[in-house]
């Protein structure tokens, strides 16, 4: 558009500015939705047109989908006229639909937001019949019907060309092979080279991304999603060539088993504009079209952890220990606090509490747990804190490292490592190992035992009662059998 304007004298620019001011002051905004005809041939296009009068077309929602039709793309048009000294203008955008087959199809009622206003359309039934023959135009008549001013204002037939794009959809991973439990970051990006000349833009990204992730997310992994909300371009260099990277999705995955992780090829549909072969000053200079870009498939190899008694339960990552204790001087029978804080890079959610050694020197209560996770710059890091209360039962000097230790596998060194407490505590006071706990109520059962009569009683009388009952039952059975046979 800028190149076209440069071809005209500056006086035309002044006229345009004046026209724009008059449009905004003399006319109000009028917006319409115009639907195509009720009947078309199978070889004919059907359209929905949005027209804005006396105002610029700033924004509009996606056009509705129609069952039995597929979208072909949009085209835009602008028009300016002066009648009796009054100037009017209009801008319109048209979505073209192509029928898939013959039949009667229904466009339901729909709403669209145009220039921040909600417009309603009642919809309609569309009948698609057999293909119709196009009418031949008289070339001589067409020549005389042509307005010479159309060439100047761009209202004639415009030829659009497809400009080759320099862009791609790329799925990249931070690692090609990992251990079970080791994290790797996966990024799905749309890359546009700096020398690209084809105009493109995203559309229906939320819906497309939902379908893409159903195919992309591996079922045998724990996912930490970076939750990209705003897609912003970032300049990167690949093989000496500069691109603008638009990150669409990014997450760190942690394999749960040794099955290979397979990312299939996925497609992202973009709006790609065709450009006018001969741009005009007032006419349409680009035409909306669609193109789908596909990523390359990728497989991540997952390795088994080296042999270790705890290899099935250890965390994998790079971790450090930050511990805190209320005091190293303790007394028997009095509670003390201790924090075992694990922080670093890895699957923080999968970190389990330390397995404590149990003996008669301490009583340990279940810890309170707190975790924080930070996802940025393609890394997942954080901390998990375990807060304990313990009661010393025996006096003496004790190394807490004998009680608090946590084993993990470090993929950077390919070795197992242990985080172990470095504190030593001194416990004073009397031993409470054999101190009986009298505060517990033995319960009503034991109370009844103490009150029960322990006098021995003979069971002979009970035996005579059982014999008499058995004789009575036998007599009743004999009488019943006699009555049955007598009848």
Q: How confident is the model at residue 269 (pLDDT cuts 50, 70, 90)?
A: very high
Topology alike, domains 2-131 and 315-428: yes
**Residue 79 pLDDT:** 66
Mean pLDDT, residues 136-161: 50
| DSSP codes joined into one string, 145-203 | H--HHHHHHT-S---EEPPPP-EEEEEEES-SEEETT--EEEEEEEEEETT--S-EE--
**Residue 6 pLDDT:** 34
Among the listed residues 425, 432, 427, the one whose alpha carbon sits nearest the alpha carbon of residue 395:
427
**Residue 71 pLDDT:** 81
Give, for 211, the enclosing helix (H) or strand (E): helix 205-216
Q: How confident is the model at residue 252 (pLDDT cuts 50, 70, 90)?
A: very high
Q: pLDDT digit string (tens) for 85-96?
A: 566 777 888 888
Look at 25-34, 92-101, 350-359, 476-485 and tell me which has the smallest mean pLDDT.
Answer: 25-34
**Above 60 in pLDDT, residue 214?**
yes
**Above 80 in pLDDT, residue 283?**
no
Task: List Cα–Cα distances, 14 to 85, 226, 289, 370, 414, in angstroms.
Answer: 18, 50, 34, 67, 72
Q: How confident is the model at residue 294 (pLDDT cuts 50, 70, 90)?
A: very high
**Residue 436 pLDDT:** 42
The size of the chain, in residues, is: 487
Quick one: CA torsion of 40, 41, 44, 49, rounded to 10 degrees? 10
Look at 12-21, 72-81, 126-135, 138-147 and tell me which has the smallest mean pLDDT.
Answer: 12-21
**Residue 455 pLDDT:** 62
CA gap 288, 158 in Å, rounded: 14
Q: What is the pTM of this model?
A: 0.60
Mean pLDDT, residues 138-148: 40
Residues 114/92, Cβ–Cβ less than 8 Å: no
**Above 70 in pLDDT, residue 331?**
yes
Structural domain boundaries in the chain? 2-131, 167-303, 315-428
Secondary structure (3-state) at 37: coil
Q: How many CB atoms lie within 10 A of CB 269?
A: 14
Domain 315-428's class?
Answer: mainly beta
**Residue 336 pLDDT:** 94
Strands (E), 2-83: 30-35, 39-41, 45-53, 69-83
| DSSP codes joined into one string, 109-149 | -EEEEETTEEEEE--EEEEEES--PPPPPPHHHHHHH--HH
User: How big is the CA angle at 254 (ends 217 and 356), to the nearest 5 degrees?
Assistant: 145
**Residue 446 pLDDT:** 55
Domain 2-131's class?
Answer: mainly beta
Sign of the dihedral defined by the CA atoms of residues 12, 13, 18, 23, in that order: positive
Q: pLDDT digit string (tens) for 197-213?
A: 888 889 888 899 999 99
Q: pLDDT digit string (tens) for 236-247?
A: 999 889 999 999
| DSSP codes joined into one string, 374-426 | EEETTEEEEEEEEEEEEEE-S-EEEEGGGT-EEEEEETTTTEEEEEE---EEE
**Residue 147 pLDDT:** 46
Quick one: tokens of 290? 């669609």
Q: pLDDT digit string (tens) for 114-129?
A: 888 899 999 999 999 9
Give, for 485, the enclosing helix (H) or strand (E): helix 460-486
């Amino acid at each position: 558009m800028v190149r076209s304007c440069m071809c005209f004298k500056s006086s035309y620019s002044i006229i345009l500015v004046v026209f724009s001011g008059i449009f905004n002051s003399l006319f109000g905004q009028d917006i319409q939705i115009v639907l195509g005809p009720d009947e078309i041939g199978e070889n004919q296009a059907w359209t929905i047109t949005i027209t804005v009068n006396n105002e610029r077309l700033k924004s509009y929602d996606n056009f509705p989908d129609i069952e039995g039709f597929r979208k072909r793309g949009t085209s835009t048009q602008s028009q300016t006229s002066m009648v009796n000294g009054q100037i009017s203008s209009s801008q319109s955008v048209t979505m073209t639909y192509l029928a898939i087959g013959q039949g009667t199809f229904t466009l339901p009622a729909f709403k669209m937001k145009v220039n921040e206003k909600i417009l309603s359309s009642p919809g309609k039934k569309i009948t698609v019949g057999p293909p119709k023959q196009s009418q031949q135009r008289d070339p001589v008549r067409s020549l005389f019907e042509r307005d010479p001013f159309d060439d100047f204002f761009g209202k004639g037939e415009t030829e659009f060309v497809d400009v080759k794009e320099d862009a791609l959809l790329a799925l990249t991973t931070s690692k090609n092979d990992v251990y079970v439990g080791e994290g790797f970051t996966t990024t799905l990006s749309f890359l546009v080279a700096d020398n690209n000349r084809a105009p493109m833009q995203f559309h229906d990204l939320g819906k497309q991304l939902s379908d893409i992730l159903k195919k992309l997310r591996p079922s045998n992994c724990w996912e930490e999603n970076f939750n990209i909300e705003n897609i912003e371009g970032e300049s990167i260099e690949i093989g000496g060539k500069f691109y603008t990277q638009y990150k669409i999705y990014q997450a760190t995955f942690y394999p749960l088993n040794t099955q290979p992780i397979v990312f299939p090829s996925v497609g992202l549909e973009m709006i790609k504009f065709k450009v006018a072969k001969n741009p005009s000053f007032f006419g349409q200079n680009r035409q909306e079209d669609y193109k789908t870009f596909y990523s390359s498939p990728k497989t991540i190899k997952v390795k088994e952890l080296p042999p270790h008694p705890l290899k099935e339960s250890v965390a994998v990552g790079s971790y450090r220990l930050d511990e805190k204790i209320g005091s190293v001087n303790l007394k028997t029978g009095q509670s003390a606090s201790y924090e075992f804080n694990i922080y670093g890079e890895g699957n923080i959610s999968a970190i389990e509490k330390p397995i404590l050694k149990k003996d008669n020197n301490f009583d340990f209560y279940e810890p309170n747990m707190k975790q924080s996770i930070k996802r940025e710059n393609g890394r997942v890091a954080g901390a998990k804190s375990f807060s304990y209360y313990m009661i010393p039962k025996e006096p003496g000097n004790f190394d807490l490292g004998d009680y608090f230790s946590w084993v993990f596998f470090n993929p950077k060194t390919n070795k197992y490592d242990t985080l172990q407490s470095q504190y030593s505590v001194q416990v004073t006071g009397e031993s409470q190992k054999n101190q009986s706990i009298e505060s517990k109520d033995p319960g009503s059962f034991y109370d009844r035992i103490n009150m029960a009569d322990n006098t021995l009683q003979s069971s002979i009388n009970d035996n005579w009662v059982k014999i008499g009952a058995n004789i009575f039952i036998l007599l009743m059975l004999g009488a019943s059998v006699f009555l049955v046979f007598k009848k």
